[in-house]
A and B are shown apart, each in its own frame.
Chain A
Amino acid sequence: MTNETERTGHTERRAREVFDASVAGLDADTRSRLNQARQAATAELDRARLPPWRTWAPAGALAAAALVAVLLWRALGTGAEPEQQAQAVANPADPAEILATGDDLDLVTEDLDFYEWVALETTEPGNGVG
C-alpha cells in the first residue's frame, strides 16, 4: 500500500514538474499575446463598471443633436414664408391672386364706382374732364 501511494505521489509530482516546465518555457510571442488579452480583459472590467447612463450617453447626445437640427431646419423654413408673401403683394398683377384675397376684391369694387362716375362725367356734354 505504501509502495502504491509512493508511485501515485511520484506520478503527481512528475506531472506537475513537467507541466510547470512547459509553462515556464512558453515562447515570447504567446506570452505577448496573452499579455494583450489580459489588458483587454482589464479594460473590459473598467467598461463594465460604468453606470448605465454613461453607456447610453453617446446615443442620447446624437438623438438630441438630431432633434436640434430638425427644430432649426423648421424654424428657418417658416422664416422664408413672409418673404414670399411680400413678393406676392408687390406684384398684384395676377387676377387670380386678386380674386383669391377678399381685401383686394373689395378694393376693386370701390374702384369700379369711381370708374363709373368718371365715365358719366366724360360722356355728358359740358362736363369735360380736365
Chain B
Amino acid sequence: MTSSGSLDFTLTRGLADTGSTPREESALLQSRALDRFLAGVERRAYRIAQMALRHPDDALDVVQDAMLRLARSYGQRPSEEWQPLFYRILYNGIRDAQRRRTVRSRIFALWPGSSRDEDEAAGDPYEHVADGGPDPSDRLMATEAMAKLATALGQLPARQQQAFALRCLEGLDVAATAVAMGCSAGSVKTHYFRALQFLREQLGEVW
C-alpha cells in the first residue's frame, strides 16, 4: 500500500512537470489503479471461474468479460468498490455461461450421435495446472488436492460455492461478500457455514 502511494505521488509529480491538466492526471491515476486492481485479482478470478465451469477457455472468456464490464460501467467509481463489484459481475458471467452450456447440451443431446458427456469432452480441467513447483511429487500432490477441492465445491449449491470462494479463497469480508452476492450479511454467514461443514465432511482429515 505504501509503495502504491509513493508510486502515485511520483506519477503525480511527473505529470505536473509535463504540464498535464488535473483532469488528465486524475484519469491516468485511475487507469493505473484499475490496472493494479485487475492484476491482483485476475489469476484468482480465473481459477474460481475454472472451478465453476470446468473449462479453461470458458473461464478465460468469463474473466475477460468481467474485466471489460467493470472498466466500462464502474471504472469511474472509487477503487474501494471494485472488488465486490468485480466478483458480482464475474459470478453473473459464470451463471450465464452455465445456462448457455445447459441449453447447448440439451440441443446437442437431440442431435444423433452426440451422446458424449460434456465433462468428458472438456477433458481434465486441471490438466494444465501448477507446473511451477520444483518437485514433481509436490506438484502432483498440489494438483490432486486442488482437484479434490474443486470436486467437493462442485457438489455444493451455487450460493454456498460463492460464499465459500469469496470468503475463504478470496478473503473478502462479510459485507463485501454480501455486495458481491447481492444478498444480506446474514445469508452470507449461513451459506458459508453450511459450505464449510460440507467440505469438512467431504475432504476429511486426510486432505
Chain A hits for B27, CB < 8 A:
46, 49
State the interface size on chain A (CB cutoff 8 A).
31
Q: Is the CB of B76 within 8 A of A49?
A: yes
Q: Is the CB of B42 within 8 A of A34?
A: yes
Q: How far apart are the CA atoms of A26 and B44 in the complex, in Å? A: 10
Q: Which of A64-122 contact B (CB under 8 A)?
A: none
Chain B hits for A49, CB < 8 A:
27, 75-76
- Chain B's nearest CB lies how many Å from the CB of A13? 9
Q: How far apart are the CA atoms of A23 and B31 in the complex, in Å? A: 25
Q: Which of B120-147 contact A (CB under 8 A)?
A: 126, 128-133, 139, 142-143, 145-146
Tell me, yes or no, whether B207 is within 8 Å of chain A by CB.
yes
Contact bitstring A34-69, B, C-beta under 8 A = 1, else 0: 110110111011101100000000000000000000
The number of A-B residue pairs with CB atoms under 8 Å apart is 120
Q: Is the CB of B132 within 8 A of A15?
A: no
Q: Is the CB of B169 within 8 A of A26?
A: no
- Chain A's nearest CB lies how many Å from the CB of B197? 8
Q: How far apart are the CA atoms of A22 and B8 in the complex, in Å? A: 31
Chain A hits for B30, CB < 8 A:
45
Known: A11-B203, A37-B60. A23 touches B68 (CB 8 A): no
Tell me, yes or no, whether B199 is within 8 Å of chain A by CB.
yes
Q: Chain A at the B interface: mostly helix, strand, loop or mixed?
A: helix
Chain A hits for B139, CB < 8 A:
25
- Chain A's nearest CB lies how many Å from the CB of B36? 10
Tell me, yes or no, whether B43 is within 8 Å of chain A by CB.
yes
Chain B hits for A45, CB < 8 A:
30-31, 34, 71-72, 75
Chain A hits for B67, CB < 8 A:
37-38, 40-41
- Chain B's nearest CB lies how many Å from the CB of A99? 73
B residues neighboring A (CB under 8 Å): 27, 30-31, 34-35, 38-39, 42-44, 46-47, 56, 60, 63-64, 67-68, 70-72, 75-76, 126, 128-133, 139, 142-143, 145-146, 149, 164, 168-169, 196-197, 199-200, 203, 205, 207
- Of the A-B pairs whose beta carbons lie under 8 Å apart in the complex, a sample of 25, sorted by A's number, is A7-B200, A8-B196, A11-B200, A15-B149, A15-B168, A18-B149, A19-B149, A21-B146, A22-B47, A22-B146, A23-B44, A24-B132, A25-B133, A25-B139, A26-B46, A37-B60, A38-B42, A41-B38, A44-B72, A44-B75, A45-B71, A45-B75, A46-B27, A48-B76, A49-B76
